[in-house]
Amino acid sequence: MTDLLSPAEVIPHRPPFLFLDEVTHLDAGERATGRWTLTGDEDFFVGHFPGRPTLPGVLMVEAVAQLGAYVVLSDPRFATKLPLFGGVDSARFRRQAGPGDTLELSIELGRMSSRAGKGSGQVTVDGKVACQADLLFVLVDA
pTM of the model: 0.96
In a domain, 1, yes or no: no
| Neighbouring C-beta atoms of residue 70, cutoff 10 Å | 26
Q: How many angstroms from the chain centroid is the CA of residue 4?
A: 16
**Cα–Cα distance for residue pair 27/96, rounded to 1 Å:** 29
Task: Give the CATH number, domain containing residue 135.
Answer: 3.10.129.10
In a domain, 2, yes or no: no
In a domain, 120, yes or no: yes
pLDDT tens digits, 96-111: 999 999 999 999 999 9
In a domain, 80, yes or no: yes
Of the CA atoms within 13 Å of residue 140, those in its CB half-sphere come to 4
In a domain, 124, yes or no: yes
In a domain, 85, yes or no: yes
DSSP string computed for the chain:
-PPPPPHHHHS---TTS----EEEEEETTTEEEEEEE--S--THHHHS-TTS----HHHHHHHHHHHHHHHHHTSGGGTTEEEEEEEEEEEEE-S---TT-EEEEEEEEEEE-SSEEEEEEEEEETTEEEEEEEEEEEEEE-
Count structural domains, the chain. 1
pLDDT tens digits, 63-122: 999 999 999 999 999 999 999 999 999 999 999 999 999 999 999 999 999 999 999 999
In a domain, 11, yes or no: yes
Domain extent, residue 24, equals 7-141
Which residues are catalytic, by number?
A: 48
